[in-house]
Amino acid sequence: MLQDYINDKFVAIVDVRGIQAPQLSAMEDCRQKNYKQFDWLIFYDMDEFIYLRNFSNIKDFLNQKIFEKCERIQLNWYFHTDNNLLYYDNRPLVERFPETDRRWKNIKIGGSEGIKSILRGNKDYVIHNIHYLNTSLRSCDGFGKIKEVEGIISNESDHYYNYINHYWSKSTEEFMNKLLRGDVALGNTTKHFLNSINMYFGLCDITLDKIEYIENRTKLNLSEYRLLLTTNLKSNNLTLI
């Protein structure tokens, strides 16, 4: 139970309701309270998992001598698709969503993928946004190679050994459950729904089943995606039944 971790002071709950850009506020609050106490700080979401091919735990990875001069370790960020699953089932994430080679189109910039960072402790810096943290920090890739890089661009990718798996959408049903909970800034607004649906179909295949399922739960008209689906089917000489 989460309460057990809270009681043991292993987990702290920070109430950021009513605060503008609450995720950044929570991250900055965590940084200010902890950066002097720990060797490294990691800001990842609950649907993001660090994959280290040659290490069984994160401590062994971070204790490598190759990171002695590094202040920010940049790991590439893989968005998983829905693997064309419409509904939730009880298998582990890695079994349900193995597809990683189709990344969200907007994350690919100039042929490079997005990154998230592991930050050295005992360094005072400012978190500007979730990905772009501070260009003054000495950055390196997952092999300890120093990099001159800004923003979310990672030109020398470490795709095979060390990276972050982001199970952003999961199945269509799970995506909709998350969508209908609302956004911290936009709430349950049409703008929030359309932004998220656009992101979803930028990552995942467009199918009639998915369109109808999302329309039924949001009461939105997704005619543009129906048209796009029909156009794609015709270009592949297929017929929409």
> Are 153 and 110 in contact, with CB atoms under 8 Å apart?
yes
pLDDT of residue 210: 97
Tell me how far apart the terminal alpha carbons of the chain are, to the nearest angstrom: 48
Query: Angle at CA 122, nearest 5°, toward 117 and 125?
Result: 55
Lowest model confidence (mean pLDDT) among 27-41, 101-115, 215-229: 101-115
Does one domain contain both 112 and 217? Answer: no
Decide if 13 is inside a domain.
no
Decide if 161 is inside a domain.
yes
Share of the chain above pLDDT 70, in %: 78
Q: Could you tell me the residue range of the domain that residue 138 belongs to?
A: 19-166
Q: Give the CA-trace dihedral at 42, 46, 50, 55, to 10 degrees.
A: 90
- Taking residue 127's Cβ as centre, other Cβ atoms within 10 Å add up to 23
What number of helices (H) and strands (E) belong to the chain? Answer: 8, 7
Does one domain contain both 157 and 59? Answer: yes
Query: pLDDT tens digit string along 12-25?
Result: 888 877 777 677 77
Residue 75: phi and psi, rounded to 5, are: -110, 140
Does one domain contain both 102 and 37? Answer: yes
Question: Which residue type is seen at 39?
Answer: D
Query: How many domains are there within the chain?
Result: 2
Does one domain contain both 154 and 223? Answer: no
The SS3 call for residue 164 is strand
Query: pLDDT tens digit string along 150-167?
Result: 544 444 556 678 888 889
Query: pLDDT tens digit string along 32-57?
Result: 888 888 999 988 888 999 989 899 99
Does one domain contain both 26 and 133? Answer: yes
Decide if 141 is inside a domain.
yes
Does one domain contain both 154 and 229? Answer: no
Does one domain contain both 191 and 162? Answer: no
Does one domain contain both 105 and 26? Answer: yes
State the DSSP code for 103.
-
Bridge partners (DSSP) of residue 42 are 118
Q: Which residues contact 45 (CB under 8 A, 6 or more apart)?
A: 166
Residue where a domain terminates, one of 166, 199, 219? 166
